[in-house]
């Protein structure tokens, strides 16, 4: 049952990736269909992450008030409506507004889906199951790139495709149960017991239920945003927000949104060649996310972050150096290094912030904490995406990618100094460590 939960909730990740990546293939056709100034193009492209920022603001409250399941049903409905309006857009402004609405759905789902999966998953498989959300994102991005290549001249078809998985998400979630922890928070103990049984815990159901009951009894009845900055919760807030800020400053969404432009700067001549190279990026993204899912509960969160940040820093530095030297084979070096960068990101920097934000917050502030982490994610996503074309014009490929490499080196130091090892620990064990006043960073792996 936890695998079915992860697959259905992961549909929101697919939509997240698809609606992020589809603009890369559609921009060329949109420039011919509408009069688009550079400023309006930046607004249209950044509308999704900007909308997601506000969706994240509401996501924690909605997931707490109406349940993780209810929030995902709403998100699926919004995805479908946004896709239909996008495909019928009559000018750049109407398309921007539709993408803003899709962004709201993404922000809401980005809080609710990892929360829904994490609170339903057994501790021993939680890393893999929550990482399925990141896998779904990469599959969505790849799907968007393939759609961009197949329907190169039909941007309306590209946008309309997103309506189908949105409808499936809303309908499938309507048939699911909510999480045991949310049901217990609402005093629905019988339903929580049934949910734990369906999650396959077997003889551990009563012990798990008692652990949830104790955790809820020890938490305040009313929680405010200020609780995230209390002495008890601040270490978790710092880690969750910090990982997302560094994820975005690594430059991933500049590559995802503007992949054809990056390949143009790297020497790929035709638009078809740029799109094919972009599909190659999507394939590596999916493949290495699968590798991450296989490893994440085996070798530990911290070690994976070291691998990801260090590998990304080296790959980005090679691209910056090659661009500075103006090598005649720049396109080959850039393509190989971008593949290595995407591999490092997908195995670590991509899935781990989503996983860790769903693990490290206490139950009383978990929706708000995940909401704040998502807000940081989308704020920096929008900033990087909006600024990338201007920065590329001012600094060139060398300066921009060198800056991304430095951010990844900061990520290595941040992991060493602050990130705990939560592999194998139950959510209640992590909360107990946080509440005890011991340094979260000193958590060690549970065998």
pLDDT one-digit tens code per residue, 31-55: 777 877 767 777 777 788 888 888 8
Give pLDDT tens digits for 291-316. Answer: 888 888 788 888 999 999 999 999 98
- Percent of the chain scored above 70 by pLDDT? 87
Q: Is residue 201 part of a domain?
A: no
- Percent of the chain scored above 90 by pLDDT? 17
Angle between the N-to-C axes of helices 2-33 and 38-65, in degrees from 0 to 180, rounded to the nearest 10: 160
Confidence of residue 245 (pLDDT cuts 50, 70, 90): very high
Confidence of residue 77 (pLDDT cuts 50, 70, 90): very high
Decide if pLDDT at 104 tops 50.
yes
- Residue 360: Cβ-neighbour burial (10 angstroms; 0-12, 13-18, 19+): buried
Closest CA to 163 of 273, 76, 103: 76
**For position 285, which CATH number holds?**
1.20.1250.20
Confidence of residue 447 (pLDDT cuts 50, 70, 90): very low
Q: Map residue 267 onto helix, strand or coil.
A: coil
Closest CA to 319 of 402, 248, 251: 402
Q: Is residue 238 part of a domain?
A: yes
Q: Is residue 263 part of a domain?
A: yes
Most confident of 257-266, 336-345, 358-367, 383-392: 336-345
Closest CA to 250 of 48, 424, 415: 415
Give pLDDT tens digits for 169-197. Answer: 999 988 888 888 888 887 788 888 777 77
DSSP conformational letter for 15: H
HSE-up of residue 197 (Cα within 13 Å, Cβ side): 6
In this prediction, residue 410 carries a pLDDT of 97
Confidence of residue 266 (pLDDT cuts 50, 70, 90): low
- Angstrom distance (rounded) from CA 385 to CA 252: 9
Q: Is residue 324 part of a domain?
A: yes
Q: Is residue 281 part of a domain?
A: yes
- Angstrom distance (rounded) from CA 170 to CA 43: 28
Q: Is residue 181 part of a domain?
A: no
- Angstrom distance (rounded) from CA 304 to CA 246: 15
Structural contact between residues 213 and 319, judged by C-beta atoms closer than 8 angstroms: no
Structure tokens at 173: 């979630």
Q: Is residue 248 part of a domain?
A: yes
- Residue 202: Cβ-neighbour burial (10 angstroms; 0-12, 13-18, 19+): exposed
Decide if pLDDT at 329 tops 80.
no
Domain that holds residue 386: 2-176+218-442
Confidence of residue 396 (pLDDT cuts 50, 70, 90): confident
Give the mean model confidence (pLDDT) for residues 332-348: 84
Q: Is residue 138 part of a domain?
A: yes
The answer to which of 102-116, 178-192, 205-219 has the lowest mean pLDDT is: 205-219
Please tell me the total count of domains within the chain.
Answer: 1
Q: Largest alpha-carbon pair distance within the chain?
A: 68
DSSP conformational letter for 34: S
Location of structure tokens 């194998």: 424
pTM of the entire predicted model: 0.72
Structure tokens at 300: 């530990």
Structural contact between residues 79 and 165, judged by C-beta atoms closer than 8 angstroms: yes
Closest CA to 366 of 1, 68, 2: 68
Decide if pLDDT at 405 tops 90.
yes
Who wins on pLDDT, 347 or 208? 347
C-alpha dist (Å) from residue 231 to 25, 60, 285, 442: 46, 21, 38, 16
In this prediction, residue 409 carries a pLDDT of 96
In this prediction, residue 415 carries a pLDDT of 93
- Angstrom distance (rounded) from CA 210 to CA 367: 21
Structural contact between residues 216 and 329, judged by C-beta atoms closer than 8 angstroms: no
Structural contact between residues 168 and 11, judged by C-beta atoms closer than 8 angstroms: yes
Give the mean model confidence (pLDDT) for residues 90-96: 86
CA 322 to chain centre: 30
In this prediction, residue 123 carries a pLDDT of 66
Across the chain, what does the average pLDDT equal? 81
């Amino acid at each position: 049952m936890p695998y079915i939960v992860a697959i259905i909730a992961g549909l929101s990740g697919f939509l997240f990736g698809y609606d992020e990546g589809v603009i890369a293939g559609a921009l060329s056709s949109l420039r011919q269909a509408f009069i688009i100034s550079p400023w309006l193009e930046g607004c249209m492209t950044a509308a999704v992450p900007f909308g997601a920022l506000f969706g994240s603001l509401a996501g924690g409250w909605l997931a707490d008030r109406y349940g993780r399941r209810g929030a995902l049903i709403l998100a699926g409905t919004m995805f479908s409506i946004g896709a239909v309006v996008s495909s019928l857009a009559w000018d750049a402004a109407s398309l921007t507004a539709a993408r803003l609405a899709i962004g709201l759905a993404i922000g809401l789902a980005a809080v609710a889906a990892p929360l829904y999966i994490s609170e339903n998953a057994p501790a021993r498989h939680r890393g893999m199951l929550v990482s399925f959300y990141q896998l779904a994102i990469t599959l969505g991005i790849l799907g968007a790139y393939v759609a961009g290549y197949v329907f190169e001249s039909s941007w309306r078809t590209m946008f309309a495709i997103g309506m189908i998985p949105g409808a499936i998400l809303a309908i499938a979630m309507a048939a699911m149960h909510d999480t045991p922890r949310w049901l217990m928070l609402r005093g629905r103990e019988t339903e929580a017991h049934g949910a734990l049984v369906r999650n396959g815990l077997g003889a551990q159901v009563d012990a798990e239920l008692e652990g949830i009951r104790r955790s809820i009894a020890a938490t305040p009845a009313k929680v405010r945003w200020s609780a995230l900055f209390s002495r008890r919760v601040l270490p978790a807030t710092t880690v969750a927000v910090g990982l997302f800020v560094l994820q975005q400053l690594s430059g991933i969404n500049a590559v995802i949104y503007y992949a054809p432009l990056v390949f143009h700067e790297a020497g790929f001549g035709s638009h078809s060649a740029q799109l094919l190279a972009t599909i190659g990026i999507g394939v590596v993204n999916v493949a290495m996310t699968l590798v991450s899912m296989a490893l994440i509960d085996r070798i530990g969160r911290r070690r994976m972050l070291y691998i990801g940040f260090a590998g990304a820093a080296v790959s980005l530095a090679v691209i910056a150096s090659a661009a500075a030297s103006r090598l005649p084979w720049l396109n080959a070096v850039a393509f190989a290094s971008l593949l290595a960068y995407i591999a490092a990101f997908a195995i670590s920097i991509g899935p781990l912030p989503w996983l860790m934000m769903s693990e490290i917050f206490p139950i009383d502030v978990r929706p708000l904490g995940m909401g704040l982490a998502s807000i940081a994610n989308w704020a920096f996503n929008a900033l990087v995406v909006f600024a990338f074309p201007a920065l590329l014009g001012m600094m060139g490929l060398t300066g921009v990618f060198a800056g991304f490499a430095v951010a990844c080196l900061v990520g290595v130091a941040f992991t060493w100094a602050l990130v705990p090892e939560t592999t194998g620990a139950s959510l209640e064990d992590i909360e107990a460590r946080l509440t005890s006043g011991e340094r979260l960073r000193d958590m060690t792996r549970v065998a």
